[in-house]
Amino acid sequence: MVDILHRVGVKTPTPEKVYEALTTVEGLAGWWTDDTKGSADVGGVLEFRFPPGGFDMEVVELRPSERVAWRVADGPEEWLGTTIDWDLRQDGDYTIVLFAHRGWREPVEFMHHCSTKWGSYLMSLKSLVETGEGAPSPRDVQISDWH
């Protein structure tokens, strides 16, 4: 098993705005994809749709201003059985976001693509919290088709 790992600092006095952007449909639509719906509560399923397809995430853990954890319930074959974790902590003027997309069976080329896209979406999350405007799909940076 292999993981995608990223770390980003978001200039904000507390983790609350970052947490809100990860735990509300409106917040998620502001940085990941405009086409977001579902339930952001523990046990709920969030549906994320993009022009080439989409993902369904089951919300498995929420710790306010500290942690968000999802399990991929539906999506591309490579994503099935993987988990996505967001750990937050305050460090001075920044909320540190430790992101992990864990449990890939092997480091296929699609994983490298997804790592790049996660990095760009984390920058969109940072922008949303710091400036009020993210770059969600379909307005995100286009790097290529999925496969």
Do the beta carbons of residue 43 and residue 58 sit within 8 Å?
yes
Token output for 25? 């449909």
The pLDDT confidence band at residue 40, using thresholds 50, 70 and 90, is very high
Residue pair 50/28 in contact by the 8 Å Cβ criterion = no
pLDDT tens figures, 1-26: 999 999 999 999 999 999 999 999 99
For the chain, the residue count is 147
What is the pTM for the complete model shown? 0.94
The pLDDT value recorded for residue 52 is 86
Query: Three-class SS of residue 105?
Result: coil
**Residue 81: alpha-carbon gap to chain centroid:** 16
Angle, CA of 144, 27 and 116, to the nearest 5°: 25
Query: What are the structure tokens assigned to 32, written together?
Result: 């990941």
Mean of all residue pLDDT scores within the chain: 95
* CA 130 centroid distance within chain: 17
